[in-house]
Amino acid sequence: MRDARYAYAGTSRQVLAGVDLDVDAGRVVAVVGPNEAGKSTLCLVAAGLAPIAIGGRLEGSVLLAGDETAGLAAYQAAQRCGILFQNPATQLSGTTSTVWEEIAFGPRNLGLDIGAIVERVEGAMATLDIAGLADRDPQRLSGGQAQLVALASVLALRPSLLVLDEPTSQLDPAGTRLVGDALSRFAAENGTAVLLVEHKTGLVARIAGEVAVLVGGRIVERGPTAEILADPALAEHGVDPPPAVRIERAVADAGRSGDLVGLDLAALEMEPITGSPLPTGAPLPTGTPA
Amino acid sequence: MVPDFVLRPPTGSYHALNPSTKLVLAFAEAAVAFGVRGWTGPLVVIAIVVATAMTARVGRSLVPFALAVIPLVASILLVNTFLFPGATDVIARIGPLAPTWTGLEAALQATLRVAAFALSVAVFALTTPTDDLLADMERRGLGRRGVFVIGAAIGMIPRMVERASEITDSQRARGLDTEGSRWRRIRGVVPLAAPMIIGALSEVEERTMALEARAFSAPGRRTILRPLPDSTGQRTARWAAGVGAIVLVAASIAGILPVP
Amino acid sequence: MNGQFSTRVITLMPVAIAINIVLGVTVQQVLKLPIYLDSIGTILVGVLAGPLAGALTGILSNLIWQYAPGIGGGTIGPFAVTAGVIGLLAGLWGQLGVYRSRPASGTSLWLPTVIAVAIILFLASRIYGNPAYNDPAYFVSWYSTAIVLVAVVVSVAVVAWVVVKRDAAGAWVALAGAVTGIVAAIVSAPISAYVFGGVTGGGTDVIVAALRQGGSDVLNASLGQGFFSDPIDKVITSFVVFIIIASVSPRLLARFPNGERLTASAA
């Protein structure tokens, strides 16, 4: 997107005030930022749902696979860009009795023939390794499982860009781990471009190659994940650095650094940091919920 | 291949009938139960409904539906038997109460009508899964919007009931009275309703976005996964039941139906 | 966007239907109150999305309530007609801008309030003065008192709202609710009388019994019960909807088909 500016209907305040951002196929770009920075708006604009589905005024240019979103209908945008929201319960259609049918909901809306639908549903389930849930009732899944089903439902439309709007923020620790694992597998193996918008930086450190910081509707910083997350300025923007960075700083501050100070940040990134609960007794601050 | 748990081949002969056939039958039964006055209409319908329930082997499941109409039936019996306007054929005077035969007759007939109606709908509901009904209606031309509204509403009710009872329980635990006097009960409605309504409405926006993200507003017809066989025999039966019910009701209203 | 049936309205309708049914079951069958509270969703959709969407929400609510596995409303199905009319009227009120906030002062604040209260009290007096209700031989003592009491309480509530919020919309909403209630009573009475012998199994049956004891025939007892329950019920319901709408941000309201009629300022 180039110089994208967006204001909601009935207001003149620009929630996005000139955002430049691009995500190439196979790349995972994360956007972090404090509350009210315009993160969720960015997701809707990037996915082409704003202004099509919610009105409002968009200036500048937002391209999905080469097409201006302003010229697309919502169902056309949906086939170019998938979007996963926070709450798994509201993303399921509520009209199906099995996970299989739930994932088939999108392809059915497109009117595809039955063979193509079967292929897409099975494909999406295989990608996320949830074929075992196929005959379950979507209303009787755990939060993490439901979020994966919601993701599979979106992937069944075969988008070339995937937008994740704080995908684990409403999940319990087990769900966070489940979805985090699936997303990092997906990001590593799939050629889809991913835009991850997050408040918690744990997941960002794990799957993103690049991070941009959004404050007040503008991107104020952008760079490789390790660099941005280790930047002391991050906290000033209202974003908590991931636990690994906090541990390192806490140790350094204590002045008993020893050989930990020189620890390679890249090595820390390899550890599974999922935002799961810290070990009991660890005196570390936890991330603020979004 | 679409897996079997999605295709769900129906078991049992009545269940396997096309949903529309069962729906038309239920409507025809309801029309006769209400439209043909006196004893015959409701009694004949009850006989048909019970026979159908036996054939479909859902007799046992009818019990809760039958129990659900008890408050209504009790109301009908009491109000009509004791307070039937203009009736003078008193059965017996018990203090200030004067039950009448006319009232009792009207009450029993109304009871039968209500029972016949409720049970015919119940047999339909028990033998026809909602998604079968919706798939069939969609095949006959109902748009995706209509299918979604009906399907999502039916799916949402049990979840909301669960939520309502959770709220009632937690409020009872905090000392709110749901059994006490009328005034106390009225006061109980607000804290019950407010969180439920606000919770549900706050989700509308998210649900809308999620639907749009799944190509809900795409043009054209949706693909239907489940084939629901229909036959000439069933088509004929539907017409016969529909037209038959209308003729019977019309004859009854015109007063040319020679039944009690 | 697709006229009255945009995707947003399509998502709102099932929520509204479920609210109608769950609240209706709770109030009528669990709490046994002599009102219904089963049209909050219908009126909400009517006001936000227009008469057609409102009417459909009402009709579907009752049909689904009748069919709903596990709830199976014994008698509610045939009242789909009434529910449809209620939704239709709500849609009309919405399009007329009745639910729009109207900050006002002086005469423009008092005049509609006085008119609304006068009409509510007039309606109560018509019921109070009807011989069907107060045959001294069988008269149920709490009945007339209750009508006057409720009418006064509703009037006071309307006045209080208008004065505290300095918003004349309260008066209009109350008036719209009262009119909707009267129409609903007229539509339901024949259904209730003809189909169910005048009773429904809910808390309203107390009133039917009282009226019959007072000497009314089946239809008039149903009508009388309706004139008692419906205006009160619909004034309360309309107020609830008004409060809900007032609490939704204008940004979200604007996305509904009737949005601009609910948010535009009175000036």
The whole-number average pLDDT for the span B152-158 is 89
Parallel, antiparallel, or unpaired for β A210-215 and A193-198?
A: unpaired
Residue from C91, C88, C116, C123 nearest C102 by CA? C116
Mean pLDDT, residues B14-40 taken together: 89
Burial class (CB in 10 A: 0-12, 13-18, 19+), A201: buried
The alpha carbon dihedral of A64, A85, A33, A261 has a sign of: negative
C245: left (phi over 0), alpha (psi -120 to 50) or beta: alpha
Rg, chain B, Cα only: 23
The pLDDT of residue B62? 83
Query: How close, in Å, is residue C1 to chain B by CA atoms?
Result: 9
**Chain A residues within 8 angstroms (CB to CB) of chain C:** 8-11, 53-55, 74, 94
Please tell me the predicted confidence (pLDDT) of residue A280.
Answer: 42
**Do the beta carbons of residue C54 and residue C43 sit within 8 Å?**
yes
**A40/B contact by beta carbon, under 8 A:** no
This prediction's pTM? 0.85
Cβ-based neighbours of A238, under 8 Å, separated by 6 or more: A33, A34, A35, A37, A215
**Contact status of B80 with chain C (Cβ, < 8 Å):** yes
Pair of tokens at residue B154: 């039916």
Cα atoms in the 13 Å half-sphere on the side-chain side of A260:
16
What is the distance in angstroms between the Cα of A95 and the nearest Cα belonging to chain B? Answer: 5
Beta bridge partner(s), residue C167: C103
Q: What is the mean pLDDT of residues B174-187?
A: 59
| pLDDT of res. B180 | 55
Indicate the length of chain C as a whole number: 267
pLDDT band at A286 (very low <50, low <70, confident <90, very high): very low
Q: What is the pLDDT of residue A278?
A: 42
Q: Given this model, what pLDDT does residue C124 score?
A: 66
**Assigned token pair, A127:** 């990608």
Between CA B83 and CA C131 the distance in angstroms is 18
CB-based contacts of A185, cutoff 8 Å, min separation 6: A129
Name beta bridge partners: B94.
B97
pLDDT tens digits along A171-214? 888 888 899 889 888 888 878 899 999 887 888 888 888 999 99
pLDDT of residue B211: 93
B184 in helix, strand or coil?
helix
The confidence score (pLDDT) of residue C69 equals 61
Which among C7, C251, C263 has CB closest to A8? C251
Q: Is the dihedral of CA A64, A70, A72, A76 positive or negative?
A: positive
Closest listed residue to residue A59, CA positions, set A8, A102, A5: A5
Give residue A255's pLDDT band: very low, low, confident or very high (50, 70, 90).
low
pLDDT above 50 (res A260): no
Amino acid letter for position B16 = A
Whether residues C250 and A54 touch (CB distance < 8 A) is answered with no
CA distance A134 to A113: 20
Give the tens place of pLDDT for each residue, A80-136.
999 999 999 899 988 888 999 999 999 999 999 999 999 999 999 999 999 999 999
How far does C255 lie from chain A, in Å, by closest CA?
6
The pLDDT-based confidence of C83 (bands split at 50, 70, 90) is very high
Residue of C6, C248, C251 to mutate for A, most A C-beta atoms under 10 A: C251
* Per-range mean pLDDT, top range of A170-179, A226-235, A265-274, B70-79: A170-179
- Residue pair A110/B218 in contact by the 8 Å Cβ criterion: yes
> Among A36-40, A138-142, A271-275, whose mean pLDDT is lowest?
A271-275
Mean pLDDT across the stretch C156-180? 81
Chain C residues close to B197, C-beta within 8 Å: 19, 23, 40, 244
Residue closest to C78 by CA, chosen among B73, B66, B35: B35
Distance between A109 CA and the closest CA of chain C, angstroms: 13
Highest mean pLDDT among A40-54, A105-119, A175-189, C17-31: A105-119
**Is 70 exceeded by the pLDDT of residue A271?**
no
Is C266's pLDDT higher than 80?
no
pLDDT over 70 at B17, yes or no: yes
Residue B233 confidence (pLDDT): 93
Interface check for A154 against chain B (CB to CB < 8 A): the answer is yes
Partners for C (CB, 8 Å, 3+ pairs)?
Answer: A, B
Measured in angstroms, the CA of C1 and the nearest CA of chain A are apart by 7
Instruction: Evaluate whether B144 touches A109 at the Cβ level (below 8 Å).
Output: yes
Q: What is the pLDDT of residue A48?
A: 87
Does residue C206 register a pLDDT over 80? no
For residue C133, the model assigns a pLDDT of 53
In this complex, is the C-beta atom of A115 within 8 Å of any C-beta atom belonging to chain B?
A: no
Q: Which comes out higher in pLDDT, residue C72 or A126?
A: A126
Residue with tokens 């200036």: A59
Which of B29, B167, B201, B249 is the best mutation test for C, with the most CBs of C within 10 A? B201
Tell me: pLDDT of C127 over 70. Answer: no
User: Any residues with CB less than 8 A from the CB of A177 and at least 6 apart, and which?
Assistant: A144, A274, A276
One-letter amino acid of A213? V
The verdict on a CB contact (< 8 Å) between A114 and B211 is no
Q: Which of B159, B209, B224, B225 to mutate to test the interface with A (most CBs of A within 10 A)?
A: B209
The pLDDT score that the predictor gives to residue A290 is: 38
CA–CA dist A205, C126 (Å, integer) = 73
* Average pLDDT value for residue range B140-163: 89
Burial of B134 from C-beta contacts in 10 A (0-12 / 13-18 / 19+): buried
On the question of pLDDT at B224 being above 80, the answer is: yes
CA distances from A161 to A79, A85, B213 (A): 9, 14, 12
DSSP states of A84-104: E-S-HHHHS-S--SSHHHHHH
Does the CB of B154 have a partner CB in chain C at under 8 Å? yes
Q: Respond yes or no on whether the N-terminal peptide bond of residue B3 is cis (omega within 30° of 0).
A: no
Q: Is the pLDDT of residue A218 over 70?
A: yes
- How far apart CA A117 and CA C252 sit, in angstroms, is 34
CA distance B1 to chain C (A): 31
Considering only CB atoms, A10 lies closest to which of C7, C14, C254, namely C254
Answer with the residue of higher pLDDT: C91 or A170: C91
Collect all residues of chain A within an 8 Å Cβ-Cβ radius of residue C264.
none
Q: What is the mean pLDDT of chain B?
A: 84
- pLDDT score, position A287: 42
- Please give, rounded to a whole number of angstroms, the shortest distance from the CA of B137 to a CA of chain C: 15
Q: Which residues of C touch A11 (CB under 8 A)?
A: 251
Cβ-contact C67, B124 below 8 angstroms = yes
- 3-state DSSP call for residue C158? helix
Q: What is the pLDDT of residues B103-145, one digit of tens each?
A: 888 888 888 888 888 888 889 988 888 888 999 999 998 989 9
Half-sphere exposure of B93 (CA within 13 A, CB side): 3
Who contacts A159 (Cβ-Cβ below 8 Å, separation ≥6)? A78, A79, A80, A81, A82, A192
DSSP per-residue letters across A90-150: HHS-S--SSHHHHHHHHHHHTT--HHHHHHHHHHHHHHHT-GGGTTS-GGGS-HHHHHHHH
* CA-based nearest residue to B126, from C63, C77, C68: C68
Higher pLDDT, A290 or B210: B210
Indicate the residue type of B232: T
Q: How would residue C84 be classed by pLDDT, with cut points 50, 70 and 90? A: very high
Nearest to A190 by CA among A69, A117, A111, A82: A82
DSSP string, A229-252: HH-THHHHTT-PPPHHHHHHHHHH
The span from the CA of C61 to the CA of B157, in Å, is 11
pLDDT of residue B93: 80
Disruptive mutation site among B212, B216, B221, B225 for chain A (greatest number of A CBs within 10 Å):
B212
d(CA B131, CA B140): 14
In a mutational test of the A interface, the residue from B138, B162, B214, B225 whose CB has the highest number of chain A CBs within 10 Å is B214
**B67-81, B179-193, C79-93, C142-156: the lowest-pLDDT one:** B179-193
Percent of chain A with pLDDT over 90: 32
Q: What is the pLDDT of residue A272?
A: 45
Q: How confident is the model at residue C73 (pLDDT cuts 50, 70, 90)?
A: low
Share of chain B above pLDDT 70, in %: 90
Is a pLDDT exceeding 90 seen at residue B240? yes
Average pLDDT of the segment spanning B154-170: 80
Residue scoring higher pLDDT (C131 or B83): B83
The pLDDT assigned to B82 comes to 81
When pLDDT is cut at 50, 70 and 90, the band that residue C139 belongs to is very low
pLDDT of residue B237: 95
User: For chains A and C, what is the number of CB pairs under 8 angstroms?
Assistant: 15
Residues B22-51, mean pLDDT to the nearest whole number: 90
Q: Which of B145-149, C1-5, C47-51 has the lowest mean pLDDT?
A: C1-5
C96-129 CB burial, b ≥16 within 10 A, e <16: ebbbbbbebeeeebbebbeebbebbbebbeebbe
Output the pLDDT for position C143. 55
CB of C252 less than 8 A from some CB of B: yes
CB within 8 A of C105, min separation 6: which ones?
Answer: C166
Q: Which of A247-251, C169-173, C230-234 has the lowest mean pLDDT?
A: A247-251
pLDDT value at B214 more than 90: yes
- pLDDT score, position B236: 95
Residue A239 CB-half CA count within 13 A:
33
Is ipTM beyond 0.90? no
Q: Are C251 and A94 a contacting pair at CB < 8 A?
A: no
The tokens describing A151, both together, are 């993701």
Q: d(Cα A169, Cα A198) in Å, to the nearest integer?
A: 8
* Maximal CA-CA distance, chain A: 66
What is the model's pLDDT at position C41?
94
Q: Residue with structure tokens 């009226």?
A: C211
B149, C17: Cβ pair inside 8 Å?
yes
